Structure 1
Amino acid sequence: MIYATDSFDKLPHLPAWVTAGRPETPEYVAFLSGAALNHLHLVLSQHAVPQTLLRARLALRAAEACVTHQGRPKRASELRDAVAFLQPGDSSGPAGEIYLSWRRAVERPASVKALRRALPEIDADQIATWLDAGQGPPVARTAFVLQAVLADRPREPATALILADAALAQSLGWNHVLPLLALGLRRADLRKSDEELRLACHRAILAAAVEAVREGADLARRAARLKEVGPKLRAKGAEEAVAQFLIRDAVAPTSLTSLRSDRAARRFCERLVDLGAVRELTGRDTFRLYGI
């Protein structure tokens, strides 16, 4: 049942020593990034964390970072708008396409086929070749894949970062891509190579894993609240509608097709806001989006 409440207050806490101070040596940076990844792995194993939603939320942040790397910064709200109301045949624009690539990359279990869906302009054999380029421990392999893709496509940092995060997920035995590198790497880091790039990846993963742990804990708390109010919702199709908020970063009322009408969907979303279970994300009076 979707309304069963998991205990979010028992999530393992990130040890303070992981984030205390600034590591100075490459060995210590590597140690801390490994510790942060290990803790993130524990958090991802908790049922209280809505993992699909966590990946979707991090995909939005990764897209925001990638668009900034390309010199045309867009806020998360603008990226949401670029894709939320697309109709068949509409163009989302360059920034929207980057966001769609990240969304598709995290939606399905990581595979060459799934990554080809996220990056339709790239041949599947080329994707497989890049993913096989890296060797060694997870972060070293990730940096190698990142460098290989950037060498071939220097103007496509989003492509390189998606495939590098895919390599990291495969190395760690994760079923899905979890956006991390884009959250922590700076634009200047993408011009580095070899040992300097590996060190930058360790630093980025350390910062991003800490952020992902915090985001996971926050979403677990918000998801618990949504599940708590679920039994109070009497509308026909309410359970299916609530489920959408647990897997999607932003929900337009018109997409809640299990409810009777668009008007009923809008009232349903407003009811969830009144109950403190979801937030209105746009600040607009029309074309609103909601999320936990």
Structure 2
Amino acid sequence: MPNALQVAIDDLDRMPRMPAWVTSTRPETAEDVAFLSGAALNHLHLVLNRVDLPHALLRDRLALRAAEAFVAFSGRPEREAALRDAVHLLRPGDLPGPAGETYLSWRRAAERPVSIKALGRALPTFEPGQIATWLDAGQGAPVGRAARVLEAVLTEAPRADVPALVLADAALAQALGWEHLVPLLAPGLKRADLRKQGEDLRVASHRALISSAIEAVRQAADLARRAAHLKAVAPKLRAKGAGDAVAMFLTRDAVAPSALPLPDRAARRLCDRLVDLGAVRELTGRDTFRLYGV
């Protein structure tokens, strides 16, 4: 009889794969770009409907990717490791810095179902009424709707790049019928794209979503396999509070041992045990102030 882990992996191997003609075709016209982005988003939609996908973990990982992309094209030096440190090693009373705030905005926007209240929590410098007005600027097909929201925000607030991208992702999610925002636009857009308008911005958004949807599907498959393995080894854990700790790993890109619902020493032992079982990875390469993730 196959074990539970093998059954889970065999089932995940049946996860819909992005068609090769989407990943390999080089679009040359606006019509090609729109067609391929529609195909890529449709495929991502199928993947996001999988019940065996760790949805919160995927959104958190994509939030990190979006923040890293934005920080890079805004000229700041922070990358993935520094962004994780800025957020996950934050102590009470500390400030995360500009790059950390960027990451927090995407994390907060993606962790709760899309609503004006949730978006206001992610973008506290804007009034709920203003957020609602900007979202209402997007009408029509999903990508065109997202592009119009992006343009509307940047027309009124030219320096509000992060809010504009977050709200554009929110508009896309609403148009596609997704309960949660999925961070997609920022990793695929170039800095110069944010200054485009009308049809040029819509085409740039289509192009960005092709690459981002392909990467999101790849990450979804990878995280689903890793999550299945973590769930399979969870019964081997004897520490009190291990079940709650596993639940945290299944929803967060990175976890500090101090954040786990265990005493410090027990938390570190649990993390080391999960690494030995191949269920989580140590993400920093450091001997101290370590972070762990699926």
The answer on whether the counterparts of 2:72 and 2:79 sit within 8 Å (CA) in structure 1 is no
The aligned residue for residue 251 of structure 1 is 255
Distance 1:161 1:226 in 2: 33
Deviation at 1:156, TM superposition (A): 2.1
TM-score (norm 2): 0.95
Letter in 1 for 2:64: L
The answer on whether the counterparts of 2:83 and 2:103 sit within 8 Å (CA) in structure 1 is yes
Q: Deviations over 1:202-238 (max 9, x none)?
A: 0001110000000000000111111111111111111
Out of 155, 159, 162, which is 2:163 matched to? 159
User: Tell me, what secondary structure is at the counterpart of 1:37?
Assistant: helix
The answer on whether the counterparts of 2:150 and 2:165 sit within 8 Å (CA) in structure 1 is yes
Distance 2:160 2:99 in 1: 12
Distance 2:64 2:115 in 1: 21
The answer on whether the counterparts of 2:86 and 2:97 sit within 8 Å (CA) in structure 1 is yes
Q: Give unmatched runs, 5+ long, in structure 1.
A: none
The aligned residue for residue 271 of structure 1 is 273
Distance 1:186 1:126 in 2: 26
Deviation at 1:88, TM superposition (A): 2.3
Letter in 1 for 2:40: A
Deviation at 1:171, TM superposition (A): 0.4
User: Tell me, what secondary structure is at the counterpart of 1:88?
Assistant: coil
The aligned residue for residue 289 of structure 1 is 291
More displaced 10-residue stretch of structure 1: 149-158 or 120-129: 149-158
Q: Give unmatched runs, 5+ long, in structure 2.
A: none
The aligned residue for residue 121 of structure 1 is 125
The aligned residue for residue 262 of structure 1 is 264
Letter in 2 for 1:264: A
Letter in 2 for 1:288: R
Q: Could you list the runs of 4 or more consecutive aligned residues of structure 1 that deviate by over 3 angstroms after TM superposition?
A: 3-6
Deviation at 1:21, TM superposition (A): 2.5
Deviation at 1:285, TM superposition (A): 0.4
The aligned residue for residue 65 of structure 2 is 61
How many residue pairs were aligned? 288
Q: Deviations over 1:185-209 (max 9, x none)?
A: 0111111111110000000011100
The aligned residue for residue 33 of structure 2 is 29
Distance 1:244 1:88 in 2: 20
Distance 1:229 1:266 in 2: 17
The aligned residue for residue 191 of structure 1 is 195
TM-score (norm 1): 0.96
Correspondences of 1:47-196 after superposition (within 5 Å): 47-196=51-200
More displaced 10-residue stretch of structure 1: 100-109 or 5-14: 5-14
Distance 1:196 1:214 in 2: 28
Correspondences of 1:215-226 after superposition (within 5 Å): 215-226=219-230
Q: Deviations over 1:86-137 (max 9, x none)?
A: 2222111111111111110001000010000000010100000000011110
Deviation at 1:47, TM superposition (A): 1.6
The answer on whether the counterparts of 1:64 and 1:73 sit within 8 Å (CA) in structure 2 is no
Deviation at 1:65, TM superposition (A): 1.2
Distance 1:26 1:134 in 2: 20
Q: Deviations over 1:243-282 (max 9, x none)?
A: 110000000111111x2x1000001000000111100000
Distance 1:76 1:139 in 2: 27
% identity of equivalent residues: 69
Distance 1:9 1:235 in 2: 32
Distance 2:210 2:25 in 1: 13
The answer on whether the counterparts of 2:71 and 2:79 sit within 8 Å (CA) in structure 1 is no
Distance 1:287 1:12 in 2: 38
Deviation at 1:160, TM superposition (A): 0.6
Deviation at 1:9, TM superposition (A): 1.5
